[in-house]
Each structure stands twice: as structure tokens, then as C-alpha cells.
Amino acid sequence: MSGENIFTGLTEEHDGDARWAFGTGFTEALAGVDTTLPAGVDGADLAVYCQMLGDDALVQSQRLVQWVTDAPELEEEVALANIALDLLGQARLLLARAGQADGSGRDEDAFAYHRDPEHFRNVHLTEAPRGDFARAVATLLVLSSWRLAVFTRLADSADPVLAAIAAKGVNELAYHREYVVAWTLRLGDGTPYSHERLRTAVADVWPLTGELFATHPLEAALAAQGVGVDPASVRDEVHEVVTRVLTAATLPAPEPFPGQTVAGRDGEHSAHLAPLLEELQRVAREHPEATW
């Protein structure tokens, strides 16, 4: 299926409004949505969970922006920019839900621009250095496969807001995975040089993948309530998908995802996050009262 057909189909699903892909067309992220908390759910816990998923999307979106004007082809700059915008839209909704759920009233801009690195809850894979194009492909292959598996389950969340965000995100993430699978096959089964670059990229990315499937106590609690998703529950599915893709790309079948702690979820990050956030937050912090 071509990119044009994908976006045409998704636009039709959103009543012909092409703006859906960019997270635009509304004043407030959750305008018109019933944000009543499900019975028995702690708002503070739900807020932290939304930050986890929202920060993953926000940080990876910012990392992908670094490919604009620097991708191997103009078409890929547009594609990566669109994926970044999709993730930014998901982050906006999730962080808006966080501010509503915890009762703070903070909007998505407050979460994005006015938190320091130790208050971010993204996994280390999203903040890792950009690397070459093969590194971007390897990262997105794992990340989009993981996020699609989680969002597919999250669409049945007991929290109607999370369920709605996930249902919308599934369409976007399915395209992300389709796009990156095509590039994985193109690089892996291409020239000896492209094959070696992708093999190296997968080896570099793999040690960071285990954190995706490490269950934080809060995730376990919300999963038990039917609100969140235990990431360990998608480990086998994601590994099977990635294995099939890499095998088709003539790369060796990958090892099982490594075991890892949930460091990023608790605010422990690599040295790569701070400079990335400085890029993201600079204008908002230099001009805190500005509007445009």
C-alpha cells in the first residue's frame, strides 16, 4: 500500500479532515471529551502513567525532528516529519490528560516545556543519540511495534480518555510500522554496505530495548484495574514481529529482549536527554509569556 493510499484511507476515517495527522484543529487537547475519572482509579497514578506514554512520544518526536533537512531523500524528510507530528499529537493528548487527572490543571505545554530532565518518564531508547539513518530505522522498528501493541490493548482501557487516545493512535502507529518495515527490508536486503549499516544499527539499539518491557509497579497496578497495559504482556508479540521483519531483511534473528530496570520511568536518564530538551524548551523558557 502506498503512503498516499494510507493517508487517504485514514483521512476518510476522520470524516475527511486531513488535520487529524498533525494533532491540530482544536483549542484544548481534550476539548469536548468526558474526562471523569473511572471509579476507583487514583488520578495521580493515572497522570504518571499518561506521562510515561506521553514522554516517550514527545522525546522521540523531538529526536526525529533532527532528520528534517538531513534525511537521505526529501520524501523521507517528509515521512519522518509526519511520524514526529503524529507522536507529538499523541503526546499532547496524553499530557493534557495527565494535567486533568492529577488535578493540577497543567496543560500539555506546561509538561513539555517546564519540566527538568529528572521529571521526564520516557524510556532511554527514545532519548538515545540520533545516529545514522539505519539507526533511526532500527529504533523505529522496535518502538513502533511496541507502541502499536500497547495502544491496541489500551483501546479497551477502562479510562475512556485513554481508550480514545489509543484508538486514534493505533491508525497512526500502524503506518509508522509499515513505513519502517519497508525501509528495514530495503536496507537489509539491499547492498552489502546497507546491510552492514543496518546490522550494526540493530546491534547498537538492542541493549536499550529491554526497558520497554520492564513493568513498573504503577503499570502493574493500573493494568490490574483494566486502565493500563502491562508492557511485559507484549514482549513475545513484539519480538515475533521484529524477528520476522529482520529475518525477511536477511539479518540474523535477534536475541530475546534483554532484561532491564525501569530507570527512565523513574526519572533516571542518560546524558543525552538534557541537550535534547534544551532544544525543545529553549523558546518557551526564554519567552515564558509569549503567545502565537
Summarised one tens digit per residue, pLDDT across range 147-191 is 999 999 999 999 999 999 999 999 999 999 999 999 999 999 999
What whole-number distance in Å separates Cα of residue 61 and Cα of residue 277?
11
pLDDT at 3 over 50: no
Q: Per the domain annotation, does 21 fall within a domain?
A: no
What whole-number distance in Å separates Cα of residue 109 and Cα of residue 32?
19
Cβ(176)–Cβ(272) below 8 Å = no
The alpha carbon of 8 is separated from its chain's Cα centroid by a whole number of angstroms, namely 23
Structurally, how many domains does the chain consist of?
1
Q: Per the domain annotation, does 5 fall within a domain?
A: no
What whole-number distance in Å separates Cα of residue 59 and Cα of residue 95?
13
Handedness of CA 75, 76, 80, 83 (dihedral sign): positive
- Alpha helices (H) along the chain: 3-13, 43-65, 74-101, 108-113, 124-127, 133-154, 160-188, 192-205, 217-224, 235-248, 273-286
Summarised one tens digit per residue, pLDDT across range 189-232 is 999 999 999 999 999 999 999 999 999 999 999 999 999 999 99
Q: Which segments of the chain are extended strands (E)?
A: none
Nearest C-alpha neighbor of 241 from the set 194, 169, 178 = 178
Q: Per the domain annotation, does 15 fall within a domain?
A: no
By residue range, what is the domain housing residue 100? 42-286
Angle at 228 between CA 223 and CA 232, to 5 degrees: 65
Task: Scan for cell 489500551, then name that residue.
Answer: 154
Q: Per the domain annotation, does 31 fall within a domain?
A: no
Summarised one tens digit per residue, pLDDT across range 265-285 is 999 999 999 999 999 998 888
The CATH number of residue 129's host domain is 1.20.1260.10
Nearest C-alpha neighbor of 206 from the set 271, 274, 252, 273 = 252
Residues with Cβ within 8 Å of 67's Cβ and at least 6 positions away in sequence, in order, are: 76, 77, 80, 81, 130, 133, 136
Summarised one tens digit per residue, pLDDT across range 57-87 is 999 999 999 998 888 888 899 999 999 999 9
Nearest C-alpha neighbor of 270 from the set 128, 132, 143 = 128
Among 8-17, 85-94, 118-127, 207-216, the minimum mean pLDDT is found in 8-17
DSSP string, 225-289: TTSS--GGGGHHHHHHHHHHHHHHTTPPPPPPPPP---TGGGT---TTHHHHHHHHHHHHHHSTT
Q: Per the domain annotation, does 27 fall within a domain?
A: no
Q: Per the domain annotation, does 9 fall within a domain?
A: no
pLDDT at 8 over 80: no
pLDDT at 145 over 50: yes
What whole-number distance in Å separates Cα of residue 214 and Cα of residue 168?
25
User: What pLDDT was estimated at residue 257?
Assistant: 95
pLDDT at 29 over 90: no
Q: Per the domain annotation, does 96 fall within a domain?
A: yes
Residues with Cβ within 8 Å of 2's Cβ and at least 6 positions away in sequence, in order, are: none
pLDDT at 103 over 90: yes
Q: Per the domain annotation, does 155 fall within a domain?
A: yes
